[in-house]
């Protein structure tokens, strides 16, 4: 697309979805024009965007190879400074799009300006020994994939997420850019109506959503596993080959839950004290966090459901819209994220995805 044609994050996501469904750039352009009532991007740039997603698992701008024209000017640095002064909670990805800068150039100028990302405490900050555990998991997992590349197609990644009628703050994306720590606190309306959503993603698509109306406990999670989750997996996947993944949340760690998974997926599940140990405070390593929840929430909150029934219907509709091929590519990109984890060692990787 030309230099003055910019796509928002949600528009890029829709383009990738449409191409996964239709596999035709002209049809994607028609869908874009119908949805947004504006001139669509060219065929070339639709295909470039899809290629970018295939290669990296992200729909954001790729870094251009070769020796680029320098954009690190005083004028651009002042634009960057002003943008973050006006809206310090904007993401570097969105700022790069709005300022027509590559993320690499933007991040270089932010560093020169002393702009640092300060995260609210509810982000999963890494503890001193977490990087070693994350790198150890990445190495084990990547070795397993080297031995059996089909493993990425047989892992079922699961997670829970909270959806509120008033819009729920995503703890993983709350970043405040400033030259000094502002010690920000996020205030929210307490007890806003909402639901806890369980969902799983694998190369064959989505299983779920299933809903918890109260806090998830070991008892309610085990009941959900027995009554809904396991039958759904059994109906869609080959249990003899499937690996089940969940994180180390207390309900997941309960002895009855672990016993159920030992019996159902012997030596083939990932979690806390599992045959494959999941590293704590590592939601950025799973496709539910870097793909599924952002994809659903970006589209979901545009609809602004007015009650719990509409909330659940909207979540279900958005999940059903995700094409199988898109899920497959997201799951297969996990290994790239784990390689990045090994390379960075002591950092969260979500800002690089």
pLDDT per position as a tens digit, 230-255: 999 999 999 899 999 999 899 999 99
pLDDT at site 87: 82
pLDDT at site 19: 84
Here the tokens at position 20 are 């996964």
pLDDT at site 346: 52
pLDDT at 120 over 90: no
pLDDT at site 345: 60
pLDDT per position as a tens digit, 64-116: 555 445 678 888 899 998 888 888 877 777 788 788 887 788 888 888 888 87
pLDDT at site 172: 43
How far is residue 158's CA from residue 169's CA, in Å, rounded to a whole number? 20
pLDDT per position as a tens digit, 157-190: 999 998 888 664 444 444 554 555 555 554 455 5
Q: Is the model more confident about 224 or about 27?
A: 224
Residues 6+ apart with CB under 8 A from 274: 258, 261
pLDDT at site 121: 42
pLDDT at 155 over 90: yes
CB-side neighbour CA atoms (13 Å) of 198? 25
Cα distances (angstroms) measured from residue 225 to each of 63, 158, 267, 341? 42, 12, 18, 30
pLDDT at site 1: 41
pLDDT at site 16: 84
pLDDT at site 122: 44
How far is residue 97's CA from residue 254's CA, in Å, rounded to a whole number? 44
pLDDT at 11 over 70: yes
Average pLDDT, the chain: 80
pLDDT at 283 over 80: no
């Amino acid at each position: 697309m030309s230099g003055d044609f910019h796509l928002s994050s949600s528009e890029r996501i829709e383009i990738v979805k449409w191409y996964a469904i239709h596999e035709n750039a002209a049809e994607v352009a028609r869908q874009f024009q119908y949805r947004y009532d504006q001139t669509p991007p060219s065929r070339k740039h639709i295909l470039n965007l899809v290629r970018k997603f295939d290669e990296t698992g992200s729909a954001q701008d790729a870094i251009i190879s070769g020796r680029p024209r320098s954009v690190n000017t005083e004028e651009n640095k002042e634009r960057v400074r002003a943008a973050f002064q006006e809206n310090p909670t904007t993401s570097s990805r969105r700022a790069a799009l709005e300022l027509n800068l590559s993320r690499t150039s933007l991040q270089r100028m932010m560093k020169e300006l002393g702009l640092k990302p300060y995260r609210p405490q509810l982000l999963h900050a890494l503890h001193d020994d977490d990087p070693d555990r994350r790198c150890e998991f990445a190495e084990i997992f990547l070795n397993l994939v080297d031995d059996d590349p089909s493993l990425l197609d047989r892992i079922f990644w699961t997670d829970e997420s909270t959806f509120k009628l008033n819009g729920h703050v995503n703890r993983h994306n709350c970043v405040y850019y400033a030259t000094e720590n502002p010690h920000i606190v996020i205030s929210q309306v307490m007890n806003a109506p909402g639901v806890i959503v369980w969902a799983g993603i694998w190369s064959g698509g989505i299983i779920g959503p299933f809903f918890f109306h109260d806090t998830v406990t070991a008892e309610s999670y085990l009941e959900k596993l027995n009554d809904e989750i396991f039958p759904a997996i059994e109906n869609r996947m080959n249990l003899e080959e499937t690996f089940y993944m969940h994180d180390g949340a207390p309900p997941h760690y309960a002895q009855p839950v672990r016993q159920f998974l030992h019996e159902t997926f012997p030596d083939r599940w990932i979690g806390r004290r599992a045959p494959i140990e999941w590293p704590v405070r590592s939601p950025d390593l799973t496709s539910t966090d870097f793909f599924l929840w952002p994809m659903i929430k970006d589209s979901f909150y545009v609809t602004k459901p007015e009650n719990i029934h509409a909330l659940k219907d909207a979540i279900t509709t958005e999940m059903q819209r995700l094409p199988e091929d898109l899920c497959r590519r997201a799951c297969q990109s996990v290994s790239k994220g784990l390689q990045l984890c090994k390379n960075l060692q002591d950092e969260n990787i979500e800002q690089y995805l």
